[in-house]
Amino acid sequence: MTLPFKIGVLQLSMEPLNETVHVAQACDAAGFEVFWLAEAYPWWRKHSMEARSCTAATAIIARETKRIAIGWGIISPYTRHPVQIAMEARILQEAAGKDRFLLGLGASKIFMKEIGEGEKGREVGPATVMRESIEIIKAMFSGEEVKYEGKAFQAFAPALKPDAHTPRWQPPLYIGATGPVLQRLAGAMTQGLLTASITTPKFARYSRNVMEEGAKKAGRDGTQLDLGCVVVGSVGEDPKTAREGAREMAAMYLANKV
C-alpha cells in the first residue's frame, strides 16, 4: 500500500558527526524516506551540546548513505548570503545525486538573537529576506546571469558556461515557518512548508490552508505542495527511559521557543 505521506527523521546538528552519520545510515537501512538535519545554535551549550554546521554535515551524510533523501531543515539566509547558500547546495547535489537533496530555508530569528545579531532582523522584514533569498537561489540554479538589487540582498554572477561540470537541476525548496505571511510565501514560491518542531493536528490543518491560500494567489495548485510536520520521539528498549528522553527534548524546545 502506498501511503499518502512520507516518513522521515529530523535531527538537530548538535551531536558528534560520527553519531549523526550513524543515525542517518540506520534511517537509510530502515526504509525512512528523508533525513532532515536542522541547524542547531549555541543555545544548546547550556545542555552540554555543541552547535555544528548543517551544510557541512549533510554533505558527509549524503556521501555515507545510499538511498534516503537528505534535507536542510532548516538553514537561515540571515546567517548565509543566498549566493553562498546556492554554492553549498551545489555540493549537496553532487554528494547526494539527483532527487536526494531538499533545501529548507527559515528566518531562524531565535538563532540571530542567540548570537547577538537580533537587531539585523528588524532592518528588513523576514518575508522580504525570504522572498529575495529564494529569488536569488533560483536564479543561481538557473545558470543564467544574475543581476539582483533588492532591499535585503544584492547578487551578481556571470552566466554559467555550457561546458561547466556542475549539476543542472534545481532541488526542491521549502520554507520553515509558523506565521501566516511566510506560510503563504511557501505556497507561492516553493515546494512546500515545514512547520515547527512541536505542532498539533489543528495547527497542521491551519498551516496547510494558509499555504494553499498563498499558492492559489500565485496561480499554483496548493494541493500538490508538501507540508512537513514533526513529532518529538525517543527510542529506547525501556519505555520509561524512552519517555524521559522525549520529555527532556520537548521541555528544552519549549523553554527555548516560548
Domains of the chain, residue spans: 8-257
Give yes or no for residue 256 having a pLDDT over 80. no
Top-ranked range on mean pLDDT: pick from 103-112, 127-136, 226-235: 127-136
> Own/partner pairs for 216-225, CB < 8 Å, 24+ apart?
216/187, 217/184, 217/187, 217/188, 218/187, 218/188, 218/189, 220/187, 220/188, 222/187, 225/186, 225/187, 225/190, 225/191, 225/192, 225/193
Q: Which fold has domain 8-257?
A: TIM Barrel (3.20.20)
Residue with cell 494558509: 210
pLDDT digits (tens, 9 = 90+) for 185-206: 999 999 999 998 788 899 999 9
Q: Where are the alpha helices (DSSP H) in 69-220?
A: 82-96, 109-114, 120-123, 126-142, 180-189, 201-217
Count of residues making up the chain: 258
Kind and range of the H or E run holding 195: none
pLDDT attached to residue 208? 98
Report pTM: 0.92
Taking residues 36-48, what's their average pLDDT? 88
Whether 102 and 174 have beta carbons less than 8 Å apart is answered as yes
Give yes or no for residue 87 having a pLDDT over 70. yes
| Mean pLDDT over the full length of the chain | 92
Cell representation of residue 126: 523576514
Spatial separation of the C-alpha atoms in residues 128 and 169, rounded to whole Å: 25
pLDDT attached to residue 122? 61
pLDDT attached to residue 108? 79
Give yes or no for residue 123 having a pLDDT over 80. no
Spatial separation of the C-alpha atoms in residues 156 and 147, rounded to whole Å: 5
Q: Give 83-126 as a DSSP string.
A: HHHHHHHHHHHHHH-TT-EEEEEE--HHHHHHTT-TTHHHHS-H
